[in-house]
A and B are shown apart, each in its own frame.
Chain A
């Protein structure tokens, strides 16, 4: 009897302590990455956001990550493990994690999920994305001015709307300042395959490209551009360490403030399954320093475009714009709606080649 009451007392004490600990416990935030944190691109930038969380909240937040998770069955296992391990908020940072995230989110209604670049939302699953095409418009302007061969090489990952938006935005901008410019487009069929991206870059240079743009994650194209002595525009992260002479600028994905905002919302109990699509104006897209060899008037023009996009005065897709086959897409003054952008599956007029299916 005595033992029993002792046991009961201990249990009560333990429970009480546990209850108190829960109140002071840090918010546990998990990240699932598709590549290595050292890719100096997509995943690297998400990890910078994770580090920004630690810098902002200190001991009030505890972060973990799993890197190089493939976009298959493995993703669901990793996300479920994270949910089971007691995370409060889990960010899954690749389009291919969408289904796995939704499946696990339904099984763990008390855990909050955030999926990058997808469209599935649930009561406990939000989505977030950046308007990469805004950055591509500004860099397209610079590329159009800087090319001397009038051939811009473009390495795409997969022919999905996000990448096609980027190609079209960059092309429209480049053509607007240089009517002779041509795009040569190669699909790597991977987000991250350095050897193939390097070969693709070399091939584009062979075909006369003197400015490279990439919508893949590795630093290999920047490396190749540096060795070949041509220009390149970086993607996702500042890649100037790999091409100090080659990098015109880089479109940097800045997730820091978004992550901080969302964790704050969890702490305040105001978290909602929102849909975020931020651009230059939200500081989600920022630029690496412009190369000093860019002439002053080009720099001014690019900065003006950047600021106009940020202020909402300039939309990269403003009519008149025709589709590749010559049919009208946007009439004079008309701008593309978000829904149209999300479904974009055609090149604009002037781009050679066919989008593979």
Chain B
């Protein structure tokens, strides 16, 4: 039985559904590589979603929307940075507070923007390529932000593994005392990473409100930030695997809708649960082997740094 599922359409759908997760998870990956655990991804995403939508509507240009979303996400992230890096507050508690704050603030900002249509996102259309029967649909029929997300995965990989700045960032995450003694500004590096993470989460959120739905509604990120956090662990802090993880998690959502439309009698409750079940299973599998898990986790993750001497 094929349940009437078209694999090409399924893939095209999952790539779109995965894009917000991809941005948020890549941002968080860099943040964690620098030794900071920011659990406020959901809050930064929703702020990005509302700011991106508001600016996109006001300027009638989604491009400005995404820029504003990145800026808003970064500003909110820097608030987290201020609290955790200078005032040395607990990162877990501060991150959770950031999520709650972001959700409430976004609802407030978004009040005048409910029930408005956003400017439509142009698709990148390549003459001759987008028309190709299967390949055109698979590869050449998305909006620009989808390609940008994949490019960011490559850039993050290149930055972390092939550049001096990336090496410094990783050194800060692995052993902040050693990095400090070598003269690297631990706090400065971490703040930059936090701001980058916020900007990426903001873009991910704006993709939901400007491209995927496209409209603003309260709480519309609906837990995507938490899934992004799980993807970072799932990927064992490797950018390539973040792409796979985002596709897997996005794909589960699209697959359950396809199975339903195909008439498969799986109770909807279980199907809705699937992404979260997969998250739990993945976390259990990864943490089963403690040595392997800790091998890749940045050694100074979530540990506060206070320069002494």
Point out residues on A near B: beta carbons under 8 Å: 36-40, 44, 68, 153, 159, 184-189, 192-196, 198-200, 202-204, 206-207, 218-220, 223, 227, 241-242, 352-354, 356-357
> Known: A194-B220, A356-B269, A357-B267. Is A36-B114 also a contact (CB below 8 A)?
yes
Point out residues on B near A: beta carbons under 8 Å: 4, 6, 9-10, 12-13, 16-17, 111, 114-115, 117, 120, 208, 212-215, 217-218, 220-222, 253-254, 257-258, 260-263, 265-269, 271-272
Cα distance, A189 to B16, chains bound together (Å) = 21
Cα distance, A353 to B265, chains bound together (Å) = 7
Pair B265/A44 contact, Cβ less than 8 Å: no
- CB-CB < 8 A to A223: which residues of B? 117, 213-215
- CB-CB < 8 A to B260: which residues of A? 185-187
Beyond contacts A194-B220, A206-B9, A220-B215: 8 other A-B pairs, Cβ-Cβ < 8 A, are: A38-B115, A196-B253, A199-B257, A206-B13, A207-B6, A207-B9, A356-B269, A357-B267
Q: How many A-B residue pairs have CB under 8 A?
A: 102
Pair B212/A207 contact, Cβ less than 8 Å: no
Pair A195/B13 contact, Cβ less than 8 Å: no
| Interface majority SS (helix, strand, loop, mixed), chain A | mixed
Pair B13/A39 contact, Cβ less than 8 Å: no
- CB-CB < 8 A to A357: which residues of B? 267
Cα distance, A159 to B260, chains bound together (Å) = 13
Pair A198/B213 contact, Cβ less than 8 Å: yes
Cα distance, A162 to B267, chains bound together (Å) = 18
Cα distance, A46 to B218, chains bound together (Å) = 19
> Counting chain B CB atoms within 10 Å of each CB, which of A68, A185, A203, A207 scores highest?
A203
> Known: A38-B115, A189-B269. Is A198-B262 also a contact (CB below 8 A)?
no
Pair A227/B120 contact, Cβ less than 8 Å: yes
| CB-based nearest A residue for B10 | A206
Cα distance, A36 to B258, chains bound together (Å) = 29
- CB-CB < 8 A to A207: which residues of B? 4, 6, 9, 258, 261-262
> Known: A195-B222, A219-B215. Is A204-B261 also a contact (CB below 8 A)?
yes
> Known: A153-B261, A200-B257. Is A159-B268 also a contact (CB below 8 A)?
yes
Pair A40/B115 contact, Cβ less than 8 Å: yes
Which residue of A44, A187, A203 contacts B13 across the interface (Cβ within 8 Å)?
A: A203
Pair B222/A196 contact, Cβ less than 8 Å: yes
Q: Which 7 A-B pairs have the closest CB atoms?
A: A38-B114, A354-B265, A206-B9, A187-B268, A353-B263, A203-B257, A356-B267
Cα distance, A37 to B111, chains bound together (Å) = 10
A299 CB, min distance to chain B CBs, angstroms: 26
Pair B268/A189 contact, Cβ less than 8 Å: yes
- CB-CB < 8 A to A68: which residues of B? 218
Cα distance, A187 to B114, chains bound together (Å) = 24
Cα distance, A242 to B115, chains bound together (Å) = 8
Pair A219/B268 contact, Cβ less than 8 Å: no
Q: Can you offer 24 A-B residue contacts whose CB atoms are under 8 A?
A: A36-B217, A37-B114, A38-B114, A39-B114, A40-B115, A185-B260, A189-B269, A189-B271, A192-B217, A194-B217, A198-B213, A199-B212, A203-B13, A204-B261, A206-B9, A207-B6, A218-B215, A219-B215, A227-B120, A241-B117, A242-B215, A352-B263, A356-B267, A356-B268
Cα distance, A215 to B139, chains bound together (Å) = 33
B115 CB, min distance to chain A CBs, angstroms: 4
- CB-CB < 8 A to A37: which residues of B? 114
Cα distance, A196 to B218, chains bound together (Å) = 14
| CB-based nearest A residue for B262 | A207
- CB-CB < 8 A to B272: which residues of A? 189
Cα distance, A212 to B272, chains bound together (Å) = 21
